[in-house]
Every structure is written in C-alpha cells, then in structure tokens.
Amino acid sequence: MTYTAAEMMTVAAARALGNGDICFVGIGLPSAACNLARLTHAPRIHLIYESGTLGTRPEVLPLSIGDGELCETALTTVTVPEVFRYWLQGGRITVGFLSGAQVDRFGNLNSTVIGDYAKPKVRLPGSGGATEIATGCGQIFIVMRHGARSFVKQLDFLTSLGHGRTGRERQELGIRTKGPVLLVSDLCIMRPDPETNELVVTSLHPGITCARVRENTSWDVRFAETMAETAPPAAMELEVLRNLHARTARAHRAAGGSE
C-alpha cells in the first residue's frame, strides 16, 4: 500500500502514544497523531486541548484549538486558567506534543520570529501554550517536517525550552520534567543522546537515506550506532487515518484539511 511522507510521520508519532497517556494536544499534525492513536492502539488515551476540553473524543479533527466538536465530545470542559494551572502546571499531563518553525540539535523550538525580534523577517504566531507545555508535561514529543531551514544550527529565537542551548539547561534551571524524548519527522525518528541530550537519528523511515537526512539538517547530524528502519504504516493505520481526514474535510466544507 503506498503512503505519503506526511502519513508516515503521523503514524510514527501516533505509535509513540499509549493507553496510559494523558496528552496535551496541539492543532494540526499532533491532533491527527493523537486521534489516530485513540482510534487504533490506544483507545483509553486521555486527550486534553488547551481550550479546556478534558478527555475529548472528536469524530473529526478540529480546525482550531477550540472547535465545538472538542467541547461536545469531551468528558468536561474547564476554563483556560484552570487547564493551565491545575492540569498542566499541576503536573498531570504525561505527554505534550510540540512543533515549531525551527528546531535545534537540543530540541529547543522557535515559533516566534524569523530574523531579529524587533525587525522580524517573518512574524510567526508566537508561543501560545508551548512555552509552559515544554516544561510542564512529563515528556515532550516533537513533530516537524524535515528541512535545512527548519532544522537549524542556531534558533533565531528560543520560544520553548528543549534541553537548552548547552543540552543541560533543564537540570540547571531545576526543571524535573524530561523535555524532548522523541522527534518524529517525515524522514526519520530522533532521540536525545543519553549523555549529551543531542538529538540523534535512531530510525530512518523506509526508503530514506542518511544522506537525505544530512541534506535536510543544518547541524552536523549524528546517527545512532545501531539504526532501525521505521515500520511502514500498516493498512489498518492508513485506513483509519484517511477516514479521519476524509470526515474532517467534509466537515470543514473546504479543500485542504489540517495537514
């Protein structure tokens, strides 16, 4: 069965989630991955969106973080201050999904500006919930398309802390959560080196070469000594994901969808 790079990325991210997870979900690819996990191998996963919907089970993927679908299918809906204070800051979320315009070798993320902050070349949306999700969730999964302009040596702005500019900043700042433990791209899977916290490639998606990853990464990317090949999406995973996207496209009455 043929599949796209985006489908491989979503499926690989979904597989990392389990039934015991309490997951803080962002819009776009994270939302697709979390709901794919819920509809396949992790039916008891608990999804929380920052609009305050706890235990939501959407039939279609929301276009925005606060679509009515999320509230209507949630166990309960709390206020936005409550979701950030009691649920995120209170340490009750096991996994947070993040993405950004730029990521560096230590999993730090920029979603604020390209160029100088005062005179930006591109003004990006900004933190949203990300800055505190990065430190408040038990661990962080990053999902991003690979590209030399997004996998950078140095961020233009550090919006959300990964392992810091030295790789050891979390410990120095007294942060007890793990930070980025996994990065899933459309080319590969990366995990932090246990010694240095630098993200290293641990698994290549089928048909992807090391050279291709190098071309698309601006730092001198490292590969694990024993590398795996990511299992391609199973027919069932693809079917569930495609049905989800088809339902979503119909519901939004527009072409495009969410990824």
Residue-level length of the chain: 259
- Rounded Cα distance between 169 and 163, Å, is 6
Backbone dihedral region for residue 239 (phi beyond 0: left; psi -120 to 50: alpha; all else: beta): alpha
- Shortest Å distance, C-beta 180 to another protein: 12
Q: How far is the CB of 134 from another protein (least distance, A)?
A: 8
Using the minimum distance from each CB to another protein, give the nearer residue, 63 or 188: 63
Of 165, 164, 158, nearest to 179 by C-alpha is: 164
Give the number of other CB atoms < 10 A from CB of residue 211: 8
> How far is residue 206 from each of residues 9, 13, 15, 188, 213, measured CA to CA in Å?
11, 15, 16, 9, 13
140 or 201, CB closer to another protein? 140
Choice between 210 and 249, CB closer to another protein: 249
229 is a catalytic site residue: no
| Closer residue to another protein, CB minimum distance, 202 or 248 | 248
Distance CA 88, CA 245 (A): 28
Nearest to 145 by CA among 204, 187, 95: 187
Residue nearer to another protein on the CB measure, 194 or 256: 256
Spatial distance between the Cα atoms of 2 and 17, rounded to a whole number of angstroms:
24
Residues that bind another protein (CB under 8 A): 27-28, 50-53, 62-68, 70-71, 77, 79-81, 84-85, 88-89, 108, 112, 117-118, 120-132, 134-136, 157-161, 164, 169-170, 173-175, 252-254, 256, 258
d(CA 182, CA 201): 10
Phi, psi of 182 (to 5 degrees): -155, 135
7, 50, 132, 169: the catalytic one is 50
Catalytic residue numbers read: 50
